[in-house]
Amino acid sequence: MTTYGSFPGTRPRRLRTTPAMRRMVAETRLHPADLILPAFVREGVSEPVPIGSMPGVVQHTRDSLKKAAAEAVAAGVSGIMLFGVPEESKKDAVGTPGTDPDGILQVALRDVRAEVGDDLLVMSDLCLDETTDHGHCGVLDEQGRVDNDATLERYAEMARVQAEAGAHVVGPSGMMDGQIGVIRQALDRAGHQDVAILAYTAKYASAFYGPFREAVASSLKGDRKTYQQDPANTRESLRELALDLEEGADMVMVKPAGPYLDILARVADAVDVPVAAYQISGEYAMIEAAAEKGWIERDRAIMEALTGIKRAGARNILTYWATEVAQKLRD
């Protein structure tokens, strides 16, 4: 005999008998407002450019990006996270396009904000990797190492420029020590107290970023293991979490999502601020590729993966399927 009775009187399968029963007792439900759409906009193209390793995802033109933002609003998605892809010739050692008011990301922020106003949270990736000719998330010192404190100066300027371009939320993703505090101070001093910070708190040095490198036309030389976290570690994520909250993060994120559900659950249990998770390009590509081969059922796999991320504790999920899934949830 247990607290719940014993067989044959107790039969848990009774609560799985019909779709209506399973729906009624479901403990986790996805909603369109849970979802945030990551989107890429590429400078100098006249048509959207398909990303080969991410079937169904494109590098947008300015016009197609505005259309995608409008579709996200109509589907009930909460936000759109923008990544700018500048022309290769404009990249340099310090990522100048990232702070140029006329850089592609800032132009796109103004475009999307004009298109959707406050109906969609317009978010900006705050990192230098798309704009540097070496592909790292910061500026390099004379020995070729990422210079943490010099990078923070660039992040402060990026935050101001992105806020002035219309970002509701900035997403610092570079994993520099002290970045949240520096960015919060820069925003406040520039009069942008209402711009929120979604901190990439636990961002791991993952093999699953591969397709993203194609999506942003990365110029990366080497790897990012000196600033992104070691996949073997848990405690350092909680240390990063404590630091980000102390420095003023409004929301926190775990990235990637699927391989780090244990980290996501630990973070969600530890805080009282919104927690996001980023279902990254490799997670997307694996499902799409396996479905294309006929090895898995695509739509069910997508919903199962997203439900698992929410069940682990994510309030919001960045996913390339955001608009598609939101539309299905509303049907």
**pLDDT for 230-255, tens place per residue?**
999 999 999 999 999 999 999 999 99
**CATH classification of the domain holding 261:** 3.20.20.70
Look at residue 139 and tell me if it is in a domain. yes
What pLDDT does residue 220 have? 64
What pLDDT does residue 71 have? 98
58 within 8 A of 49, measured Cβ to Cβ: yes
**pLDDT for 125-148, tens place per residue?**
999 888 898 878 889 898 889 899
Q: Is the pLDDT of residue 34 over 70?
A: yes
- Catalytic position from the list 91, 203, 221, 328: 203
Look at residue 65 and tell me if it is in a domain. yes
Look at residue 221 and tell me if it is in a domain. yes
Look at residue 5 and tell me if it is in a domain. no
What pLDDT does residue 86 have? 93
Query: Locate tokens 């790897």: which residue?
Result: 223
Q: Which helix (H) or strand (E) holds 199?
A: strand 196-203
Look at residue 10 and tell me if it is in a domain. no
Q: What's the rounded mean pLDDT across residues 196-208? A: 94
Look at residue 219 and tell me if it is in a domain. yes
Q: Provide the mean pLDDT of the chain.
A: 94
The reply to whether 66 belongs to the active site is no
Query: Is there a cis peptide before residue 8, judged by omega within 30 degrees of 0?
Result: yes
φ and ψ of 61, to 5 deg: -80, 170
Which residues neighbour 67 within 8 Å (Cβ) at sequence distance 6 or greater?
Answer: none
Look at residue 13 and tell me if it is in a domain. no
What pLDDT does residue 1 have? 52
Domain count, the chain: 1
Domain containing 291: what range? 30-330
Model-level pTM?
0.95
How open is the CA angle 240-242-245, to the nearest 5 degrees?
105
Question: Two tokens at 146?
Answer: 């990422």
- Catalytic position from the list 255, 293, 310, 328: 255
Look at residue 24 and tell me if it is in a domain. no
The reply to whether 255 belongs to the active site is yes
Q: Is the pLDDT of residue 217 over 80?
A: no
